[in-house]
Amino acid sequence: MTTALYLPEENIDMIAATSVLQQQAADIRTRTINWASYMQSQMISEEDYKAISALDKSRASYLAQNSSQVVKTLLNLVSHLSKDSTIQYILVLLDDLLQEDRSRVDLFHETAGKLKQCIWGPFLNLLNRQDGFIVNMSSRILAKFACWGHETMPKSDLNFYLQFLKDQLATNNNEYIQSVARCLQMMLRVDEYRFAFVGVDGISTLIRILSTRVNFQVQYQLIFCLWVLTFNPLLAAKMNKFSVIPILADILSDCAKEKVTRIILAVFRNLIEKPEDSSVAKDHCIAMVQCKVLKQLSILEQRRFDDEDITSDVEYLSEKLQNSVQDLSSFDEYATEVRSGRLEWSPVHKSAKFWRENAQRLNEKNYELLRILVHLLETSNDGIILSVACFDIGEYVRHYLRGKHVLEQLGGKQIVMQHLGHKDPNVRYEALLAVQKLMVQ
């Protein structure tokens, strides 16, 4: 039995009426297929000819009386016919049958089982076709078979299908991206499928696409996918390893659409409520504070929303973040900023008292924070991040006796010296100060 997460249906209206797939399906429904010529040329059996012709004329009544035959015929036609326009028509017909009545998914599973036919194979094969409509309508049908019935998709097929969805999401200028995202929205409501998606590195893909400029509808759909993932406590605890909080905080600060605001706040709330380890929830709170979420919440508090969920999430988050700020030591704040990779001239950097008390704490967890500073110097192109990282390394060696030796072991000294020729005068200045501190005996 698939354990779906039951959420308000409004949140997942299966396909926006404006989607490309839906527009094309409307045209395909009006086609007339000459089934007689298929039978005459022996491409379909007489039995399948009678069934599909009757289905075309009176769908509901024929299906009620001949359900097994309908399933058998549709699976035969999808498996054995090859002409694009005919396959498109059969797929739309099948999808409409499932959309009208979800219980038909179990009917398909049961009948295919009795016929010893694989229900997944024919549609998985169609994912390799050239025609974009066939590929995406087959994908939509697969998602319904996987989510709306009592049977789950077998593991090997599941990994193939989720990898397919992930690749489709990452395809440049994919005109069917809304339809791909809808399939994922369905799949990730089923707990068994969530870990498989993480296994194909799905979260990284969602975050990578969200960090580019996508339209607000796709933005909403992909954040919805993150939201349903966070209902699993283990995944909620892991989420920020993928920089979910910084990316969503950026989108929140630019966001004009209420539904995108609502879904981001819902993700943030789950990241605090769902992890079973309270220290993880605390880390998430600190990360949100670091990413200026409190400031966004105070702006949202001034606005009027029709949606009560937004108001209650804003209140909840404001309270939790305010509390975490009060509990925060300056070192917690510093460590969170460094781990986020978003260094800026926040007050702790320039505090001599902070460095006197905390310099050697950069050695904790096998020099974790020091390694991050060195890594940022190697990889970042941002002038402020580079300036702050140089400054912090200089303060570390100034206040920790063995700091110079440790930094050399990590290769940091060379990297600081490389920035003496940086094009940004501020970076050059901070690198020079840091090198001077490194040279002092």
Tell me the pLDDT tens digit for each residue of 216-259: 899 999 999 999 999 999 999 999 889 899 999 999 998 888 89
| Helical axes 202-210 vs 216-229, angle rounded to 10° | 150
Q: Which residues of the chain have pLDDT under 70?
A: 1-18, 327-328, 441
Tell me 12's DSSP state. Answer: G
- State how far the Cα of 211 lies from the Cα of 243, in Å rounded to an integer: 10
Q: What is the pLDDT of residue 372?
A: 95
Q: Spell out the domains of the chain, with CATH numbers in brackets.
A: 11-151 (no CATH), 187-327 (1.25.10.10), 351-440 (1.25.40.150)
- Say if residue 173 is exposed, middle or buried (CB neighbours under 10 Å; 0-12, 13-18, 19+): exposed
* Neighbour count for residue 364 (Cβ, 10 Å): 12
**In the structure encoding, which two tokens stand for residue 46, read together?**
């007489």
Nearest to 225 by CA among 259, 176, 285, 267: 267
Q: What is the pLDDT of residue 201?
A: 93
Half-sphere exposure of 411 (CA within 13 A, CB side): 8
- State how far the Cα of 149 lies from the Cα of 137, in Å rounded to an integer: 18
Confirm if 15 and 179 have CB atoms less than 8 A apart: yes
